[in-house]
Amino acid sequence: MKLFRTNSIAFYFLFSFFLTACSVEEDFVDQASETIPLEITGELKVLTNYYDNEGPHDHFFNQKRIDGFTETYESGSKGSYAGGTVTLTDSGDWYLSDALIGSLSNDRKYGSKSVRIRNTGYAIMSFSMDNGAETVRIRHAKYGNNGNSTWRLIASYDNGVSWYYVGSEITTSSTTLNTVSFNVNETGNVRYGIQKTSGGSNRINIDNVEITIPSSGGGVAGKDSNITFGNPSDAGSNSDNYYLSKPDFILSYNNAKGTANWVSWHLSSAWTGNTPRCNCFKRDTSLPSSFFRATSSDYTNSGFDRGHLCPSADRNGSEDSNENTYYMTNIAPQAPDNNQRSWANFENYLRSLTLEGNEVHIITGVVGSGGTGRNGFASTIDGGNITVPDSFWKVALILPNGTNDINRVTTSTRVIAINVPNDQGISTDWTQFRTSVDSIESLTGYDLLENITNSIESVLESVIDNGPFN
């Protein structure tokens, strides 16, 4: 039996019922639907890598089939398990059988939606990659309190007529979205999908499927992932550790403090240019409506600067990119002498490294409460809505321009960590605040470089940088 083609489906096996006002989340979960079986004609051996949590990923792409994509499923809607097509903005059309797009609290997801698959259902691309694929990365977790299941990556080389298993069978046993990366290294026309292979009615969630194309080689500055080395606080849907993805940075937002916990981004000369600062501070309406959403005026007369975490000058390659750094989720109350002196000097130094042929992976954040601004000491501003940090910290990992950054890191890779008191009258010399990544992790409880091999990570995180600074 040959696999169906999406446009030849003449009918659904079951109509789904949509309930718009229901207090029981599972009302439609157990509706029966028949899965059209896939024709699996073989199996391909490829290297399969496992990562905790977000795992590595590359920059968001625009040309999808040509350049690759990261599919978040946020743009799609499908509330039934019956087979059907979903059109998605980030990639294209997908066919889901015994699968739907879930948005319930039990669905594991980075944004508001993810794919949910049961029985032996599947989610497959109805389009092919024109230039092949280098890597397929998939985030997966158990739905709700369901039991364990297994699934396989599948590939088709004849536009969906027949399929092959690719790589190892994956067991989904965690309620945290973890990452599996398949080094597929295909150069021709190919499409991919995910098929659940065991676990019966147990459901799994799939989110943030990413496909990258074969790279053209290293040495050229590019726009890489903004969170290559991991999600340090396991940010997700918790209001005080809320994962928020922007095209220009990734952050964990803390609703109780009214600021980010941390912000992560990639810096190279590909991101920078001559666009002037927009000075357009704006409320971040992408936060849930129940969250506190700071405005620029909340900082007025506070004695603290509206301190950028991801700097405006790191994203001046275009007007849109620069404006994104002015979301208030990227801002924290910063003592003027911190923001305008030592902190700014370190930002300038890191940008100077990109002019020498380097790229820098940066994560920065705030810790503690209570700092000294122009008006003296304060623990909060805006009537307690926004916590004034005790210090600002930053970790920067520096590599020559290239690709496959995680695998290029060695024990000799330069990593700079600083922790700067949020006070007036401090030194203008950022090197006075150098510390180790281990010390930052002790302060914050984060795992800052989790995607690096442990033996290398342990060395890098214990060292205090003593390299050149001008």
Residues catalogued as catalytic: 308
- The answer to whether 154 touches 133, Cβ cutoff 8 Å, is no
63 backbone φψ class: left, alpha, beta (φ>0; ψ -120 to 50): alpha
What is the H or E stretch that residue 245 is in? strand 241-245
Detail the DSSP E strand segments found in 283-352.
305-308, 331-334
CA distance 92 to 74: 13
CA distance 55 to 6: 31
**437-444 vs 454-462: helix crossing angle, rounded to 10:** 90
Classify the C-alpha dihedral 194-447-242-286 as positive or negative. negative
Q: Measure Cα distances from 115 to 88, 124, 159 in Å.
A: 12, 11, 22
Nearest in space to 395 (alpha carbons), one of 354, 421, 433, 428: 433
User: CA angle at residue 278 from 276 to 282, to 5 degrees?
Assistant: 160
- The answer to whether 104 touches 152, Cβ cutoff 8 Å, is no
CA 382 to chain centre: 30
Full DSSP string of 169-195: EEEE--SS-EEEEEEEEE-S-BEEEEE
Residue for token pair 């992976």: 361
φ, ψ of residue 438 in degrees (nearest 5) = -55, -40
Contacts of 146 (CB under 8 A, 6+ apart): 199, 202, 203, 204
383 backbone φψ class: left, alpha, beta (φ>0; ψ -120 to 50): left
Computed over its alpha carbons, how large is the radius of gyration of the chain?
A: 23
CA 297 to chain centre: 30
Eight-class DSSP state of 162: S
